[in-house]
Structure 1
Amino acid sequence: MTPFKKANILIVDDNKSILSAIELLFKGRCNKVRTLSSPNMLLNELQNEAYDVLLLDMNFTAGINTGNEGIYWLQRVLELNPSVSVVMITAYGDVELAVKAIRMGATDFVLKPWENEKMLATVESAFRLSQSKNEINKLTRRQDQLVEELNNNHRELIGNSQAWLSILTLVGKVAATNANVLITGENGTGKELIAREIHRLSQRRNKIMVTVDMGSISETLFESELFGHKKGSFTDAHAERTGKIETAGEGTLFLDEIGNLPLAMQAKLLSVLQNRKVTKLGDNKPVDIDIRLICATNCNLTQMVNEGTFREDLLYRINTIQIELPPLRERLSDIPELAAFFLEKYARKYNKQGLRISSSAMDKLTRYSWPGNVRELQHAVERAVILCDQPEIGAGDFMFKSEELNRNVDYEGTLEDMEKRLIQRAIDAQNGNMTAVAGQLGITRQTLYNKIKRYGL
Structure 2
Amino acid sequence: MIDDDEDVLLAAKLLLKKQSHQVIIEKNPKKIPFLLNNDTYDVILLDMNFSKDITSGKEGFYWLNQILEKDPSAVVILITAYGDVEMAVKALKEGATDFVLKPWQNEKLIATISTAIKLKESYKEVDKLKKAKELLEAEINQPFKNIIGKSRAIREVFSLIDKVAETDANVLILGENGTGKELVARAIHQRSKRKTNPFTSVDMGAISESLFESELFGHKKGAFTDAKEDKVGKFELANEGTLFLDEIGNLNTSLQSKILSSLQNREITPLGSNESKEINMRLVSATNMDLNDMVSSGTFRQDLLYRLNTVEIKIPALRDRPEDIPLLANHFLDKYAKKYRKNVNKISSEALDYLKRYDWPGNIRELEHAIERAIIMNDSEVIEASYFSFLNTSNSSNDDILSGDLNLDIVEKNAIKKAISIHSGNISKAADELGLTRASLYRRLEKHGL
Q: TM-score, normalised by structure 1?
A: 0.59
The aligned counterpart of 1:266 is 256
Q: Quote the Cα distance in structure 2 between the aligned partners of 1:139 and 1:284.
A: 23
The aligned counterpart of 2:223 is 233
Q: Quote the Cα distance in structure 2 between the aligned partners of 1:201 and 1:362.
A: 33
Q: Quote the Cα distance in structure 2 between the aligned partners of 1:230 and 1:353.
A: 53
**Residues 1:350 and 2:320 aligned together:** no
Q: Quote the Cα distance in structure 1 between the aligned partners of 2:184 and 2:145.
A: 9
The aligned counterpart of 2:173 is 183
Q: Quote the Cα distance in structure 2 between the aligned partners of 1:312 and 1:230.
A: 32
The aligned counterpart of 2:243 is 253
Query: How many Å apart are 1:167 and its aligned residue?
Result: 0.4
Q: Quote the Cα distance in structure 2 between the aligned partners of 1:126 and 1:381.
A: 59
Among residues 128, 141, 144, which one is paired with 1:149 in the alignment?
141
The aligned counterpart of 1:122 is 92
**Residues 1:192 and 2:162 aligned together:** no
Deviation string, structure 1 residues 325-369 (Cα, Å, up to 9, x no partner): 110000000000000000001111111245211111111111101
Among residues 275, 293, 298, which one is paired with 1:303 in the alignment?
293
Query: How many Å apart are 1:273 and its aligned residue?
Result: 0.8
Sort the Cα spacing of 1:360 and 1:204 in 2 relative to 1 into closer, same or farther, 3 A: same
Sort the Cα spacing of 1:123 and 1:401 in 2 relative to 1 into closer, same or farther, 3 A: farther
Q: Secondary structure at the match of 1:322?
A: strand
Q: Quote the Cα distance in structure 1 between the aligned partners of 2:189 and 2:244.
A: 10
Aligned amino acid, residue 249 of structure 2 = G
Deviation string, structure 1 residues 181-202 (Cα, Å, up to 9, x no partner): 0101100000000000000000
Query: How many Å apart are 1:404 and its aligned residue?
Result: 2.9
Query: How many Å apart are 1:126 and its aligned residue?
Result: 8.7
Instruction: Write out aligned runs for 1:44-193 (5 A).
Output: 115=86, 117-125=87-95, 142-143=134-135, 145-146=137-138, 148-149=140-141, 153-155=144-146, 157-193=147-183
Instruction: Write out aligned runs for 1:23-38 (5 A).
Output: none
Query: How many Å apart are 1:138 and its aligned residue?
Result: 6.6
The aligned counterpart of 2:14 is none
Query: How many Å apart are 1:223 and its aligned residue?
Result: 1.6
Sort the Cα spacing of 1:135 and 1:249 in 2 relative to 1 into closer, same or farther, 3 A: closer
Instruction: Write out aligned runs for 1:197-346 (5 A).
Output: 197-346=187-336
Sort the Cα spacing of 1:126 and 1:396 in 2 relative to 1 into closer, same or farther, 3 A: farther
Aligned amino acid, residue 243 of structure 1 = G
Q: Secondary structure at the match of 2:261?
A: helix
Deviation string, structure 1 residues 225-272 (Cα, Å, up to 9, x no partner): 111222333333333222111111101110100011121111111111
| Length, aligned pairs only | 293
Q: Quote the Cα distance in structure 2 between the aligned partners of 1:244 and 1:140.
A: 10
| Structure with higher RCO (Cα < 8 A, 6+ apart) | 2
Instruction: Work out whether residues 217 and 268 of structure 2, in 8 Å CA contact, stay in contact via their aligned partners in 1.
Output: yes
The aligned counterpart of 2:376 is 386
Q: Gapped runs of 5+ residues in structure 2?
A: 1-83, 98-118, 404-450
Q: TM-score, normalised by structure 2?
A: 0.60
Instruction: Work out whether residues 176 and 203 of structure 1, in 8 Å CA contact, stay in contact via their aligned partners in 2.
Output: yes
The aligned counterpart of 1:35 is none
Q: Quote the Cα distance in structure 1 between the aligned partners of 2:251 and 2:129.
A: 36
Q: Quote the Cα distance in structure 1 between the aligned partners of 2:145 and 2:229.
A: 38
Instruction: Work out whether residues 209 and 253 of structure 1, in 8 Å CA contact, stay in contact via their aligned partners in 2.
Output: yes
Q: Quote the Cα distance in structure 2 between the aligned partners of 1:342 and 1:393.
A: 12
Query: How many Å apart are 1:283 and its aligned residue?
Result: 2.1
Sort the Cα spacing of 1:162 and 1:208 in 2 relative to 1 into closer, same or farther, 3 A: same
More moved, 213-222 vs 336-345:
213-222
Q: Quote the Cα distance in structure 1 between the aligned partners of 2:196 and 2:140.
A: 9
**After TM superposition, where is structure 1 displaced by more than 6 Å over at least 4 residues in a row?**
132-138, 406-410
Q: Quote the Cα distance in structure 2 between the aligned partners of 1:330 and 1:147.
A: 29
Deviation string, structure 1 residues 284-304 (Cα, Å, up to 9, x no partner): 211100010000011111111
Query: How many Å apart are 1:119 and its aligned residue?
Result: 3.6
Q: Secondary structure at the match of 2:300?
A: coil
Deviation string, structure 1 residues 24-70 (Cα, Å, up to 9, x no partner): xxxxxxxxxxxxxxxxxxxxxxxxxxxxxxxxxxxxxxxxxxxxxxx
Aligned amino acid, residue 319 of structure 2 = R
Instruction: Work out whether residues 343 and 381 of structure 2, in 8 Å CA contact, stay in contact via their aligned partners in 1.
Output: no
Sort the Cα spacing of 1:140 and 1:183 in 2 relative to 1 into closer, same or farther, 3 A: closer
RMSD between superposed Cα atoms in Å: 2.8
Query: How many Å apart are 1:171 and its aligned residue?
Result: 0.6
The aligned counterpart of 2:49 is none
Instruction: Work out whether residues 147 and 206 of structure 1, in 8 Å CA contact, stay in contact via their aligned partners in 2.
Output: no
Q: Quote the Cα distance in structure 2 between the aligned partners of 1:140 and 1:245.
A: 12
Query: How many Å apart are 1:146 and its aligned residue?
Result: 3.5
% of aligned pairs identical?
51
Query: How many Å apart are 1:403 and its aligned residue?
Result: 5.5
Instruction: Write out aligned runs for 1:432-443 (5 A).
Output: none
Aligned amino acid, residue 386 of structure 1 = I
Instruction: Work out whether residues 147 and 207 of structure 1, in 8 Å CA contact, stay in contact via their aligned partners in 2.
Output: no
Q: Quote the Cα distance in structure 2 between the aligned partners of 1:125 and 1:139.
A: 24
**Residues 1:402 and 2:393 aligned together:** yes
Q: Quote the Cα distance in structure 2 between the aligned partners of 1:134 and 1:264.
A: 34
Aligned amino acid, residue 137 of structure 2 = Q
Q: Gapped runs of 5+ residues in structure 1?
A: 1-112, 411-457
Sort the Cα spacing of 1:245 and 1:134 in 2 relative to 1 into closer, same or farther, 3 A: closer
